[in-house]
Structure 1
Amino acid sequence: MATKDASATKPKRNNPFKQIAAVYRAVRSMDSSITWWLLGVFLGIVAIFVLIGFLVGHPIYFTFIGIPFGLLAAMLTLSRRGERAAFGAMAGKAGQSVGALSMLRRGWYYDQEPVAADVARPQEVHNAAMIFRALGRPGVVLIGEGPLPRAKKLMEREVKKVARVAPGVPIHQLYVGDGTEQIAARKLPRHMAKLKKMLTKEEMSAVNKRLKSIPGIRQGIPAGIDPNKARMDRRQLRGR
């Protein structure tokens, strides 16, 4: 098979206008009112600056100042409405937690696939109970979704697994959904960001390596590693 020489091809520059257009089309497919929202925000901001311009005697000057602010406000609106539309499309669907985790800022490790799942019947994947796992400065965050009773049983098992390989590390248990004991998927990133930071970056890296030793749905126990016998304390986490 022939391979391309990276030095022979020039890297393509990303066109920001094409990217914005692509985002707009994607959001419009989920939120048909986005065009009116963007126009309303843009014209509203510009109108405020024009009014200020008339009050101080420089309407044209303030109009030109208001245009970039109007564009910025429109872009922020596009982002917020797009995020809300995306969560609305994912609501109630299996795997919505992954969409929420993808909204996290830097400083988090998380798995794209569930670390545990319970499907009553093969054809009922939409009604599956699943556990997703994330790791950040606050510690390990386990997120359950699906039918709550089954999700809680899976959660108990995962908490024990994590505690075995990383004793002393905080484990937070959250459930995504619309129930009284659950958090809406769109609120999950903000909720996780508010958790108290307990680990250093070095400790996070060490814990992440230990978590990878836990057998998952499609993962067997790596050779030479027995997570049931693994132990860790704070000094080990720091590599001391």
Structure 2
Amino acid sequence: MSNTPLDPSKMSRRRQILETYRMTREVDPSIRWWLLGTFVLAAGLGMALFRFVLPANDGVFSWILSSIASFLIGLFALLIVFGRRAQKAAFARLEGQLGAAARALTLLRRGWVIDEVVGFTKQQDMVHRVVGPPGIVLVAEGNASRVRQLLISEHKKHERVVGEYPVHDVLVGNDEGQVPIKGLVKHVRKLGRQVKPADVTEIRQRLRALDAQRPKAPIPRGPVPTSMKGMRGNLRGR
């Protein structure tokens, strides 16, 4: 049997969901009970609500309509819980892995441009770059003492190139002043909207000269958790 990592982009929707469930269950064994309980509770509440609202004298039609609506409500609630717990499990799988921040940043949607490993050290500390509504966001991961110096260096380089546009620094980790991997995407989004879409284009053009002068370090890939890549299209826990 092949051990080649599965590519979610080449899977059917059904296969993506099954792989997401499998990988989530490895981290969160109670997921089945959460999903079952959510479905039963939501469907039961839906049934009670519809039986209260619909006329009692509609007979079989009323029961059929209530059953279908309750099933859909239960399924919708199940998908919401599944999405949230799958996302939580995906971050737990990434914790401590090389390149985890870059993989987490893939959950940013349209309007964000992610450049992986714009700066790195021989010890595999790295800085990634995100260009979007806040301007430039430099995201560092690795040994805190080493990567801080790398982050400072990259910040200065980017400031010289982009001039008046804002440059933000983010250090990923679990210590004080750092951002946990599970809260990285939310933290980046909360930096706000400080540049216009046209400014993003201008920033990217200015960065081309900087990028042309630096070597590229390939990020160690390994299997990207299906529950992160596949979930972006169909199971976004909101």
TM-score normalised by structure 2 residue count: 0.75
Residue type at the aligned position of 1:117: F
Q: 2:102 aligns with which of 80, 98, 101?
A: 98
Alignment check: 8 A CA contact 1:109 1:135 kept: yes
Residue type at the aligned position of 2:34: W
* Residue 147 (str. 1) matches residue 143 (str. 2): yes
Higher relative CO (Cα under 8 Å, sequence separation at least 6) belongs to: 2
Q: CA RMSD in A?
A: 2.2
**Correspondence for 2:120:** 117
TM-score normalised by structure 1 residue count: 0.75
Partner secondary structure for residue 23 of structure 1: helix
Deviations 1:164-186 (A, max 9, x none): 11101100011111001101111
Q: Which runs of 4+ in 1 moved over 3 A?
A: 14-19, 53-61
Post-superposition shift, 1:110? 0.7
**Correspondence for 1:235:** none
Deviations 1:102-121 (A, max 9, x none): 1112100011x31111234x
Deviations 1:109-145 (A, max 9, x none): 011x31111234xxxxxxx422111100110000111
5+ residue gaps in structure 1?
A: 1-13, 121-127, 220-240
* Residue 208 (str. 1) matches residue 212 (str. 2): no
Deviations 1:145-196 (A, max 9, x none): 1221211100111011101111011000111110011011111111111222
Partner secondary structure for residue 131 of structure 2: strand
| Aligned pairs for 1:16-165 within 5 A | 16-56=13-53, 57=56, 61-111=65-115, 113-120=116-123, 128-165=124-161
Partner secondary structure for residue 212 of structure 1: helix
How many pairs align?
A: 199
Residue type at the aligned position of 1:178: N
5+ residue gaps in structure 2?
A: 1-10, 57-61, 218-238
Alignment check: 8 A CA contact 1:52 1:59 kept: no
Alignment check: 8 A CA contact 1:115 1:133 kept: yes
Residue type at the aligned position of 2:119: A
Alignment check: 8 A CA contact 2:117 2:216 kept: no
Bigger Rg, which one = 1
Partner secondary structure for residue 213 of structure 1: helix
**Correspondence for 1:9:** none
- Using the alignment, how far apart are the partners of 2:215 and 2:33 within structure 1? 45
- Using the alignment, how far apart are the partners of 1:153 and 1:92 within structure 2? 20
Q: Which has the higher helix share?
A: 2
| Aligned pairs for 1:178-197 within 5 A | 178-197=174-193
Residue type at the aligned position of 1:74: L
Post-superposition shift, 1:28? 2.8
Alignment check: 8 A CA contact 1:135 1:141 kept: yes
- Using the alignment, how far apart are the partners of 1:105 and 1:189 within structure 2? 10
Post-superposition shift, 1:87? 0.4
